[in-house]
Amino acid sequence: MFKLNILLFIYVVPSFAVSTSELKCEVCCRLVELIQKNVSSVDPSRVVQVLNFRLDENGNNPSNIVPLSRSQIYLSEVMDSVCKQMSDYVRATFKENGTLTVMPLVLDGKMNPLMSEVDVIQDSDLNKSLEYYCDDIVDDIADDIYKIMKSENNKNVVDAICTDTVNLCPIKKNRVEL
């Protein structure tokens, strides 16, 4: 088994007050991006049969065939596990403008290329609050996530959920998609 040991030298910014609303916005954005990544990784040919629990006029139990990635069962499993991935994320500010971001340390097995552009914020709770905020958001918006993710015509799911639906992010915020 190949074991990769990475020695990281990260410039860490001393802890400073971060707006909770700004942090929740960033966590929401990363949450939705992670859900989208999981949904897009599923083979589109995989489908499930979804039964309707009401009988039609002939006494039959009608069913629909839906893509697995858009089924409530699959989305529920994703949302149950997605927040655990936040343990690999850090709070940081962009050196250029001081904008807060929540970002993964590693992307595709390599150091995140944005690490040279940010200052990591030292966090006394070792970023456990990111997972807590993520779980809190999932609990609050699970039904909205199901509805929006099931509709395939949504172009910007992050804005649809984090800005339009739950109002965690300001309307005109320039976000960096990670």
pTM: 0.77
Q: Is 123 exposed, middle or buried (0-12, 13-18, 19+ CB in 10 A)?
A: middle
Span 20-44, pLDDT tens digits = 889 999 999 999 999 988 888 888 8
pLDDT tens digits, 130-163: 999 999 999 988 888 888 877 766 678 888 889 8
Give the integer Cα–Cα distance in Å for 57 and 44. 33
What does the H/E/C string look like for 141-154? HHHHHHHHHHCCCC
Q: What is the mean pLDDT of residues 83-100?
A: 91
Which element (helix H / strand E) includes 90? Answer: strand 89-94
Q: What is the mean pLDDT of the chain?
A: 80
